[in-house]
């Protein structure tokens, strides 16, 4: 999942709005705002020093510095805004938009550290700071988004640009900036502005509370096993679970932590059905345990406040407001796509369950397939139908080799070279983090640095994500990219390889796709490094396709003991089984996407969140043998901030583009490594970022709009029609 780093860090609408308004990683307007020593005495505010254009001093960050750094950063950022609004000259792009693009440099540096302390290194002490600062940050954001003088200057530049257009990318910056201010209440009267700001403040506190509740439940529910409870588990997995237990002071036991990367393989392989049920319930009950970490009340309040806020702007519901500048344009178009796929997905689930029940009956297991059985029996069906054992495949999926494979693909498509930096030359925030320099293979030009934080740990949020510490821009001196990928693989015992599932390998490639999107940016202005939510997942989803190309399989998918490449017969089985279990994968995702949309189209006045989830899924004919990928009480994409609110459908929207674009490569003379198609890919789909309308960018690449047929074919579903 990719968002710009401020919104990912703070998880508040106030700050999400701030990103779009002021951009990320900008230099301040060159005015004297305070004593220089006062600005730099706090390491979180200080300019980055060292090689590669300067890098964050992650090794020196301290929690005690966070609050004063945020407070000072906000003060300096507001001084930047004051310098714009006090300008007596007629508003122009140069004296209004340019300084706005430069504003907030110090605060953006603080947010970089804040993001690490929030997502990668959280602690109870830091969470207290989050709670205290969330409303203050919301107030700060409102001071910018509701600044009448600032907005009028922006509006003047926007109106003038309609009459006499600027350069293409400048026109785009002005349009995005104006729309973002207007969407966030800049044109409201004083009374409505006040209420709008109050709502944002309330939401910021709810988002922080929601996120911290999930993290608390992930840390608080651990299942410990003894040696006689390890049936079905592989040796590497047993060692990893053993290390997880010893790390928690439970030497001699085995720990299944409450994260997807720990839970998923246990449900897939463990023969202990009662323990599978316990682990499953721990995971899918996060935020829904009826205690002080329960999120249902938070969600109900969030939904009411979101509806009230957009009503101030004249919208009937949150979805109408949110989707107006997305590719889908409105919730009806998004629902049309999801409804086109949903019937085929749940029909496939019924087939998959019948196959699994038949295996269970043949084994005389005396079970009726339940959600905690799905992964376990799906593996047995996979072996029966395709003679394919996922555990056998895992032996060829070493994390280090997958990383090398990603570097190879980046070299072939983008002409990038990844070289490890000298130890100690770039500060990191944890010993697990490693850093590579990215250069152009031909010119040796420095592109940026890539940070990798691969392993789960206490205080690190679950899932996988990509982010930037510094984005590419050229308008104020060229800035190279500092990007990171973050995963939650189970850390192995010393000397053991990290073996991952095919799904996890796919996710690894996916998140690396976001990083390549960051590195390939060719935009001038920070605002253009943003993205349209139902488009930004496309580039990363497309990169997943290179995992199964012959060049990657033949050279990087080698056995962790023998070093021998994956046998051709096994490769054939993997490719033959490509559409296996697509009912499960598509249904668990779509259920979450549909619920996201339906929650925001419903009247939230007296909403019972648990009941609404249950009733809506029943009406959708949701199969009882599985659940939403993200149940509502821990649906962080949607309720820990607003990045994916009414936008979770975007993965499916983007996958229509992905499947269609993949066909362009499949049809090319040199397939997925065709240089001509790759050049168009970089030129039109990666480098522009948000400098052009995404629909136009796709047409320039493909010569037409994307079609849904390729998506249905990829998933093995009957071909249907639908909008994208």
Q: How far apart are CA 450 and CA 436, in angstroms?
A: 5
In the structure encoding, which two tokens stand for residue 82, read together?
């004051």
Q: How far apart are CA 518 and CA 8, in angstroms?
A: 15
Task: Name which of 519, 509, 523, 466 is nearest 658 in CA terms.
Answer: 509
In sequence order, what are the residues at sequence separation of 6 or more whose Cβ sits closer than 8 angstroms to the Cβ of residue 64? none
Domains of the chain, by residue range, sit at 5-215, 221-284
Q: How many CB atoms lie within 10 A of CB 403?
A: 20
Q: Are 414 and 431 in contact (CB under 8 A)?
A: no
656-667 tens-digit pLDDT: 999 999 999 999
* Three-state secondary structure call for residue 391: helix
Residue 720: predicted pLDDT? 58
CATH of domain 5-215: 1.10.1370.40
In sequence order, what are the residues at sequence separation of 6 or more whose Cβ sits closer than 8 angstroms to the Cβ of residue 571? 553
Residue 666: predicted pLDDT? 95
Q: How far apart are CA 270 and CA 380, in angstroms?
A: 12
Q: What is the pTM of this model?
A: 0.86
In the structure encoding, which two tokens stand for residue 590, read together?
């779509």
10 Å CB burial of residue 314 (0-12, 13-18, 19+) is exposed
Q: Give the mean pLDDT per block of 10 residues along the chain (724 residues).
A: 31 32 32 44 95 96 96 98 97 98 97 96 94 94 95 98 97 96 94 96 96 94 97 94 95 95 95 98 97 97 98 96 93 96 97 97 97 97 91 95 98 98 96 98 97 95 94 93 96 91 95 97 95 88 96 96 94 91 96 98 96 97 97 96 93 94 96 97 96 94 94 86 45
Q: How far apart are CA 494 and CA 282, in angstroms?
A: 28
In sequence order, what are the residues at sequence separation of 6 or more whose Cβ sits closer than 8 angstroms to the Cβ of residue 30? none
Residues in the chain: 724
Residue 371: predicted pLDDT? 98
In sequence order, what are the residues at sequence separation of 6 or more whose Cβ sits closer than 8 angstroms to the Cβ of residue 72? 38, 39, 42, 45, 106
Task: Name which of 659, 609, 608 is nearest 638 in CA terms.
Answer: 609
Q: How far apart are CA 274 and CA 254, in angstroms?
A: 16
- The H-assigned helical ranges of 482-608 are 502-519, 533-543, 550-556, 568-576, 582-601
Q: Return the C-alpha torsion angle 320, 325, 331, 332, nearest 10.
A: 120
Task: Name which of 284, 392, 307 is nearest 601 in CA terms.
Answer: 307
In the chain, the N- to C-terminal Cα span, in Å, equals 20
Q: How many CB atoms lie within 10 A of CB 41?
A: 13
For 436, the enclosing helix (H) or strand (E) is strand 434-440
Task: Name which of 333, 321, 307 is nearest 599 in CA terms.
Answer: 307
Q: Over 100-156, what HEC string results?
A: HHHCCHHHHHHHHHHHHHHHCCCCHHHHHHHHHHHHHHHHHHHHHHCCHHHHHHHHH
Cα torsion angle, 212, 214, 216, 218, sign: negative
């Amino acid at each position: 999942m990719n968002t710009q780093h401020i919104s990912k860090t703070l998880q508040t609408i106030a700050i999400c709005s701030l990103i779009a308004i002021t951009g990320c990683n900008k230099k301040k307007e060159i005015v004297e705002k305070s004593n220089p020593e006062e600005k730099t005495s706090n390491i979180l505010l200080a300019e980055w020093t060292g090689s590669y254009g300067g890098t964050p001093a992650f090794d020196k960050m301290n929690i005690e510095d966070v609050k004063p750094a945020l407070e000072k950063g906000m003060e300096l950022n507001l001084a930047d805004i004051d310098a714009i609004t006090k300008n007596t000259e007629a508003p122009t792009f140069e004296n209004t938009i340019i300084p706005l693009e430069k504003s907030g440099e110090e605060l953006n540096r603080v947010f970089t550290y804040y993001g690490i302390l929030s997502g990668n290194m959280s602690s109870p002490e830091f969470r207290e700071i989050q709670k205290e600062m969330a409303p203050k940050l919301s107030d700060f954001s409102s001071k910018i988004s509701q600044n009448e003088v600032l907005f009028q200057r922006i509006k003047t530049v926007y109106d003038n640009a309609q009459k006499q257009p600027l350069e293409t990318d400048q026109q785009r910056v002005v349009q995005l900036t104006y729309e973002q201010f207007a969407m966030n209440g800049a044109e409201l009267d004083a009374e409505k502005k006040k209420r709008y700001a109050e709502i944002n403040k309330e939401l910021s506190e709810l988002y922080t509370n929601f996120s911290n509740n999930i993290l608390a439940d992930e840390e608080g529910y651990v299942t410990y096993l003894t040696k006689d409870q390890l049936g079905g588990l592989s040796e590497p997995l047993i060692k990893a679970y053993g290390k997880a237990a010893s790390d928690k002071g439970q030497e001699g036991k085995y720990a299944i932590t409450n994260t997807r990367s720990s839970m998923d393989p246990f449900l897939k392989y463990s023969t202990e059905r009662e323990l599978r049920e316990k682990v499953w319930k721990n995971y899918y009950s996060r935020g829904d345990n009826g205690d002080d970490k329960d999120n249902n009340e938070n969600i109900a309040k969030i939904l009411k406040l979101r509806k009230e806020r957009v009503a101030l702007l004249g919208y009937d519901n949150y979805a109408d407001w949110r989707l107006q500048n997305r590719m889908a344009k409105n919730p009806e178009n998004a629902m049309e796509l999801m409804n086109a796929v949903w019937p085929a997905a749940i029909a496939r689930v019924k087939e998959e369950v019948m196959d699994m029940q038949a295996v269970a009956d043949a084994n005389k297991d005396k079970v009726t397939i339940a959600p905690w059985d799905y992964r376990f029996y799906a593996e047995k069906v996979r072996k029966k139908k395709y003679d394919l054992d996922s555990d056998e495949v895992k032996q060829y999926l070493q994390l280090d080799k997958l990383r090398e494979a990603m570097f190879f693909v980046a070299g072939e498509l983008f002409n990038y070279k990844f070289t490890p930096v000298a130890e100690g030359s770039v500060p990191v925030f944890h010993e697990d983090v490693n850093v590579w320099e990215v250069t152009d293979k031909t010119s040796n030009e420095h592109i940026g640095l890539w940070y990798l934080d691969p392993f789960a740990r206490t205080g690190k949020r679950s899932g996988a994500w990509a982010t930037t510490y510094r984005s590419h821009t050229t308008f104020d001196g060229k800035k190279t990219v500092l990007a990171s990928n973050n995963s939650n693989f189970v850390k192995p015992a010393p000397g053991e390889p990290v073996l991952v599932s095919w799904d996890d390998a796919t996710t690894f490639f996916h998140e690396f796709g976001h990083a390549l999107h960051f590195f390939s940016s060719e935009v001038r202005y920070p605002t253009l490094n943003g993205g349209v939510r139902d488009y930004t997942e496309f580039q990363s989803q497309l990169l997943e396709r290179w995992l199964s190309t012959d060049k990657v399989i033949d050279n990087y998918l080698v056995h962790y003991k023998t070093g021998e490449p994956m046998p051709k017969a096994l490769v054939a089985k993997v490719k033959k089984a490509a559409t296996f279990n697509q009912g499960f994968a598509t249904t668990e995702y779509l259920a979450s996407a549909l619920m996201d949309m339906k929650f925001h189209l419903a009247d939230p006045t007296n909403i019972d969140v648990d009941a609404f989830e249950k009733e809506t899924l029943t009406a959708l004919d949701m199969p009882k043998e599985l659940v939403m990928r993200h149940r509502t009480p821990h649906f962080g994409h949607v309720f820990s901030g607003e990045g994916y609110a009414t936008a979770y459908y975007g993965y499916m929207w983007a996958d229509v583009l992905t499947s269609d674009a993949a066909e362009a490569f499949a049809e090319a003379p040199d397939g997925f490594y065709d240089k001509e198609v790759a050049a168009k890919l970089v030129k039109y789909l990666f480098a522009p970022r948000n400098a052009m309308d995404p629909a136009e960018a796709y047409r320039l690449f493909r010569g037409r709009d994307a079609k849904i047929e390729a998506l249905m074919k990829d998933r093995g579903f009957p071909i249907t029609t639908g909008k994208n």
